[in-house]
Each structure stands twice: as structure tokens, then as C-alpha cells.
Structure 1
Amino acid sequence: MGRLLLLAVVLTVAVGCGTAKAVKCPDAGCGQDAVKLALTGVTVGQAVIAVLAVLAVSGEYGTGMIRTTLTAVPNRLTVLTAKATVLTTVVLASGTAAVLASLLVGRYILPGNGFTEAHGYAPLSLADGSTLRAAVGSVLYLVLIALIGLGLATAVREAATAIGIVLGLLYLFPVVTQVVDDPEWQRHLQQISPMSAGLAVQATVHLHELPIGPWAGLGVLATWAAAALLVGSLLLHRRDA
């Protein structure tokens, strides 16, 4: 678990760093969202977090240790709640480290690429309300992704299947959205897509153009997480170990 958490942090920061180095803002009003650019790595780090969450459950099923766990703690809802609590704690810690490091890297790299006060960009700072919301929201986003993975793994038990489902929800949903020609349907799909809706919380500019508001989008992701945990808990309660 420790190695996967470290990998998630490293990937998140590295991708954010690469994006910050690659994007230029040559003149005022270039229209880029500096905060979202710095936090781009979350879209990659979330995959590792999802895999970590799945393995937290499926590993026990694979080794048969789940029987020992359920014998020691017969209340299955208590078992799932304990796993969710531990997972939330470690992802909160690692997610906070990844997000803060990404913003720090962006603060130092982006000005060299034209994201300066002369072009309308203040240095990235948590003292700015929008930046703070994007940072806190990104950490919560990673926690909710982990809970989706936990719920799905509890429901299907098998690691490869659970990983395929959660990654499909995250990455295939946006692809399907782009295939749809109707703009109105595209907007609706973006409003219910776990990743598209959830990452709206990172936006700090052009909020009126978003298909869904920042906190509302995170609420959609929270609904996906709640649904996954509900299905997982129901199946855990009804099936044999």
C-alpha cells in the first residue's frame, strides 16, 4: 500500500510539473486556468488510488483472509466501514501531499511560461479562495475515487474486474461523451460522468461555461461513491465470504 501511495503522489506531481512546463501563456488574456494546469496530475494519480482501493479488498478475497476478518468481526458493515475509514485517512494524507506539491511546483514553473501578473495571473496561493477550493476539492476527489474503488471491489470481489470497471467509469465515460454529436447530450453526459463532473471542482476561471458547478460536480462524484459503497455493503451482507 505504501508503494502505491508514493507512486500516486509522484505521478500526480510529475504530470502536473510536465504540464506546467509545456503550456505557454504568451500574452494577456490567454484564457488558461493556471490552477487546473498545476493540478492536471490528479487525472493520472487517481488511477493508482483506484487500484489501491480495489486491492485493499480483493487482496483479502484472493488470500482467503476475508474469512478470518469476518470471523473476528461478524458485523460486515463494521468491516466495510473500518476499511473505508482507513482508506479515507491514507488517501487524505497522500492526496494532500500531492496537491500541495503540485501547486508549489506550478507556482514556480508557470510564471516562467507567461503566467505572470502582467498577463493577469497572480502567483498560485491557497490564500486565494478559488485556489483553496480547487486544492481541497482535488483531495476530496481522490478520496471519493478511492471509495468508489472500495465499493466496487467489495461488490465484485475479483481485482481485475473491479479495476476494469472503475477505470472504465473514469476514462471511458469522457471518450463516449466526445463521440456524441449532440451538444446538449454531451453536456448531460459531462454532468453525470464521475471524472468530468468531479474535476469541475478544480476550475477557477470561466465557471459559467462549465457543464456543472464545482461543488455540484463533486456532489455527483460523491453520489457515485455512495452508490458503489451501498451495492458493496448489500452484497457483502448477503453473500458468503
Structure 2
Amino acid sequence: MNTLRSEWTKLRTSPGTVWLILCVVVTTAAVSVFASAVTTCPARGCALDPTKVSLTGVTLGQAVAAILGVLVVGTEYASGTMRLTLTATPRRLAVLAAKAVTVTAMMVVAAVPAVVVSLLAGRNLLPGNGFIAPDLGSEPVLRAAVGSVAYLTLIALLSLGIATLVRDSATAIGAVLALLYVFPIVALAVSDADFARHLKQVSPTNAGLAIQATQGLDDLPIGPWQGLGVLAAWAAGSLLLAGVLLTSRDA
């Protein structure tokens, strides 16, 4: 409990953390509002999923979530204070677990209003562009909303694990952003349809964002909850490996 309180205090009192949390909210909501305002649906029908259009900002907000997850541990390695942290708390796995809990709490606080604003904007703006407004009380839309909050949180946890592994903020941010943005580009560039589908099934971005789909689920490379499970596996794997290395090497 003392370790958790200590990590919470460090995050809560860091000006950079507060600004990043606000940036997650503003970036996600602003891009979503813009997408809902400018995306149009032809009168003869539209293949675009209005819920996914409403939640477009998540694809950019995830970059800020990733940076937040990296800096939670990366700044301590950069400043050398990680040695003090691990000296004060010899149980290193407890330190990592406390950081994961605080990151989760911070991201939920940021992601919930961002997703709510995004969906409200979609409901109000999309009908004027030829879409049927997302039914915010329907199970698919609620699943997309809850899943988007979980998605942003898992991205931050994945980033926390990678930053703990490499112990360098710049390297960790580069690695995470490559996973989030370069991996999907590679999947699009592959000419073999089956191989491209497999890449999308294991990509943390493609698989994880399947949770936002409310239409055409049979055409997705992976189901919504299965896709979020793939991202959860990425996050859990990075944290597990980070825990192993954190306990086995010098600070």
C-alpha cells in the first residue's frame, strides 16, 4: 500500500503527467469531433461505421497515452531516481505493479471523458452528414465505448512495460509508435491477403481497435473482444518480461 501511495503521489504531483492526461482528453475528443463534422455518407448508402467515425480520435489519442506510459518510468531512469525508488522499495515487482495500477487509474480518468465527448459529438453531428446517429444505449455502442477506454489504458500499460525493458524514453516511444502505426502500414502493404489478415490479427492496433466496430463484424480479421484480448496479451507480455528483467538486472 505504501508503494502504491508513493507512485500515486509521484504521478499526481508531476506537472508533465497532468498535461499529458489533459492532452489525451483534448486530442482524442478534438479529432473525433472534427471527424464527425467533416465525414459524409453518400445518399445511396455508406459502408462507414458511424460509431467508429465518432471514435476516430482514439487513433491519435493512443500516441499520447503511449508517451504517458513511457514517461512514468522513463523519466526515473533518465534522472537516476529509479535507483532511489528501488532502494526504498526492494520488492521490485511491487514497484512495477504500483506503477501499472496508477497508470491504469490515470488513463481511465482521461479516457472516459474523451470517449463520452467523442460519442456525443458523433450523435449530434453525423446525422447532418447522412449517417444514422449511433444509439448510445445499444449494446454494440456501449461495447465500443468501454472497449475504447480499455484500449487506451492497455496502450499505456504496453508502453510502461516497453519503457521498463529498454530503460530509455526515446527508444521506448519509438518502439511503441512503430508498433501502433508502422505495423498496420506493413499489413496494408502486404500483397498476400491471407498473410495480411494474419498480420492484422496480431497487430496491437488493428486487433485492439476491432472493439470499436458495430457493423460488418463478420468481415473483420478478428472479433471485437478477441481483438482487445490480443492487445491485452501484448500489454501483459511486455509487463511480464519487464518484471523479469527488473528483478534480474541492476537498476
| TM-score, shorter chain, exceeding 0.5 | yes
- Runs of 4+ with >3 A deviation: none
Query: Residue type matched to 2:213 in 1?
Result: A
Confirm whether residue 82 of structure 1 aligns to residue 92 of structure 2.
Answer: no
Alignment correspondent of 2:127:
111
| Aligned counterparts of 2:239 and 2:193: Cα–Cα separation in 1 | 32
TM-score by length of 1: 0.95
| Aligned counterparts of 1:23 and 1:65: Cα–Cα separation in 2 | 47
| Aligned counterparts of 2:152 and 2:189: Cα–Cα separation in 1 | 27
Confirm whether residue 32 of structure 1 aligns to residue 42 of structure 2.
Answer: no
Confirm whether residue 167 of structure 1 aligns to residue 177 of structure 2.
Answer: yes
1:102 is aligned, of 105, 115, 118, to 118
| Aligned counterparts of 2:42 and 2:154: Cα–Cα separation in 1 | 36
| Aligned counterparts of 2:126 and 2:136: Cα–Cα separation in 1 | 16
Confirm whether residue 183 of structure 1 aligns to residue 199 of structure 2.
Answer: no
1:201 is aligned, of 183, 193, 211, to 211
| Aligned counterparts of 1:180 and 1:5: Cα–Cα separation in 2 | 36
* Ranges in structure 2 where 5+ consecutive residues have no aligned partner: 1-16
Alignment correspondent of 1:215:
225
Confirm whether residue 14 of structure 1 aligns to residue 30 of structure 2.
Answer: yes
Question: How far is 1:23 from its partner?
Answer: 1.2
Confirm whether residue 147 of structure 1 aligns to residue 165 of structure 2.
Answer: no
Helix, strand or coil: the match of 1:40?
A: coil
Counterparts of 1:55-74 in structure 2, within 5 Å, are 55-74=71-90
| Aligned counterparts of 2:211 and 2:30: Cα–Cα separation in 1 | 21
* Ranges in structure 1 where 5+ consecutive residues have no aligned partner: 116-120
Alignment correspondent of 2:9:
none
Alignment correspondent of 1:46:
62
Query: Residue type matched to 1:218 in 2?
Result: L
Question: How far is 1:28 from its partner?
Answer: 5.1
| Aligned counterparts of 2:119 and 2:44: Cα–Cα separation in 1 | 21
TM-score by length of 2: 0.92
| Aligned counterparts of 2:234 and 2:112: Cα–Cα separation in 1 | 22
Q: How many residues align?
A: 235
Alignment correspondent of 2:245:
235
Question: How far is 1:31 from its partner?
Answer: 2.0
Structure 1 vs Structure 2 CA RMSD: 0.9
Deviation track 1:178-204 (CA, whole Å, cap 9, x = no partner) reads 121000001000000000000000000
| Aligned counterparts of 1:199 and 1:31: Cα–Cα separation in 2 | 17
Question: How far is 1:125 from its partner?
Answer: 3.6
Question: How far is 1:22 from its partner?
Answer: 1.6
Helix, strand or coil: the match of 1:14?
A: helix
